[in-house]
Structure 1
Amino acid sequence: MKGYIEERAVDIANYIIKNNATVRQTAKQFGVSKSTVHKDVTARLALINPDLAAKARVILEINKKERHIRGGLATKEKYLHKII
């Protein structure tokens, strides 16, 4: 694996842990796709630093369980500000 990819995977995991960030927020911050973030955390990082990968996956699982709530709140907010 190339060095910069390994470094990016570690940086992404640290960002997720530090900021309790979602995959989408992380992808935007690093200028990569959501798929890349997911691959870095689940596959690549597991080979580099399994402990860090496990910590990041815990946060991603929590975010995954809560995403339907966030989506509902975003929709509610959208329609509260919509002019009829």
Structure 2
Amino acid sequence: MVESDKERPVIFGEYMVSRRTTVRATAKAFGVSKSTVHKDLSERLPGISPALYAKVKEILEENKQQRHIRGGLATKHKYEEQHLLAVNAANAAKKQKI
């Protein structure tokens, strides 16, 4: 994907606004780093398209406010999965003893 320095921030911004995605999801969709997306959106986009930047900034702020919730849910799912694996292993060990 080859765009000019002025096209890429707009493409990222439009994608983020249309799908209300995170920086991480946007980076993954375009196959670039989170740093690239963040720099394009926070530093380059305001000079190119202030109106689009205002919309992107709202989404970035919303994502920032929800960050601790997402992190907590990810940790919860991690430990639930580990618990299920441990239970399955214990059940398998019991079946082998019988």
TM-score (normalizing by structure 1): 0.90
- Tell me: higher relative CO, structure 1 or 2? Use CA pairs within 8 A at least 6 residues apart: 1
- 1:50 corresponds in structure 2 to 50
CA distance in 2, matches of 1:5, 1:34: 16
Measure the CA separation in 1 of the matches of 2:38 and 2:57: 9
Query: Which amino acid letter does the alignment assign opposite residue 45 of structure 1?
Result: L
Task: Write out aligned runs for 1:31-70 (5 A).
Answer: 31-70=31-70
Moved beyond 6 Å, runs of 4+: none
Are 1:5 and 2:5 an aligned pair?
A: yes
* 1:23 alignment partner in structure 2: 23
1:32 Cα offset (Å): 1.3
Aligned to 1:27, the other structure's residue is in SS state helix
The alignment covers a number of residue pairs equal to 82
Q: Report matched runs for 1:62-81 at 5 Å.
A: 62-81=62-81
SS at match of 2:6: helix
Cα distance in 1 between the residues matched to 2:23 and 2:57: 11
What residue identity is the alignment partner of 1:40? D
What is the percentage of aligned positions where both structures have the same residue?
55
Unaligned runs of 5+ in 1: none
Q: Which moved more, 1:3-12 or 1:63-72?
A: 3-12
Secondary structure class of the residue paired with 1:5? coil
Deviation at 1:22, TM superposition (A): 0.5
Larger Rg computed on CA atoms? 2
What SS does the corresponding residue of 1:68 show, helix, strand or coil?
Answer: helix
